[in-house]
Structure 1
């Protein structure tokens, strides 16, 4: 079994808007797929590698909004968590993520998110 995943870094990074700490959890060649109203399952938004992932994390965690990890489950080389977010105007976002790990680093993540409309 590889290195253990640091769920506390995930929680702290999300809740304190620390994109750099979050990026440290990803493997160099990681991939993220995001499914939402604009990026539907047949055409998800896909980010490859730390460069693209870093830009996405900087954007999301640089926004004026709150982020809270509601649940996080780590089992062997799989992590699942839910994240609730709220913008200052009251608009809420709920995201659910499923991640695969290798040597304690995220190699694959699928995010399904829903926004208030």
Structure 2
């Protein structure tokens, strides 16, 4: 959990992506992508691209934006799983709250299911 916190707070998307297994799956549900049609990203390289987009681009308007801060709350970790809530605040003041529930294999995230709420929703 400490590696996740550090990567998020330092806005180090490469370090964050390296916590995922090579064949990891990231599944995101939000008002833009309901449970019937989630975003599904497969593989560490694709997850890295997704993370870069999330940190630098607004998913609704597509404009450039800057992350001001990231806080982690309600965290829990075992050998097999990690769960936490990420609160990301952007320079413009808008917030994105993401609940992560991830399963691990050999110390790396294998499957990360995210539920995302945005101020713009």
Q: TM-score, normalised by structure 2?
A: 0.86
Supply the RMSD in Å over aligned alpha carbons.
1.2
Q: How far is the alpha carbon of 1:24 from its aligned partner?
A: 1.2
Could you say which residue in structure 2 is the equivalent of 1:92? 95
SS where residue 21 of structure 1 aligns? helix
Question: Number of residues paired by the alignment?
Answer: 111
1:69 to 69, 72, 90: 72
Distance in structure 2 (CA, Å) of the matches to 1:89 and 1:11: 22
* Bigger relative CO (Cα 8 Å, ≥ 6 apart): 1
Q: How far is the alpha carbon of 1:17 from its aligned partner?
A: 0.3
Distance in structure 1 (CA, Å) of the matches to 2:3 and 2:97: 20
For residues 1-117 of structure 1, the aligned pairs below 5 Å read: 7-62=1-56, 63-65=65-67, 66-117=69-120
- Show structure 1 runs of 4+ deviating over 6 A: none
Which runs of no fewer than 5 residues in structure 1 stay unpaired? 1-6
Which runs of no fewer than 5 residues in structure 2 stay unpaired? 57-64
Distance in structure 2 (CA, Å) of the matches to 1:53 and 1:26: 8
Q: How far is the alpha carbon of 1:68 from its aligned partner?
A: 1.5
SS where residue 41 of structure 1 aligns? coil
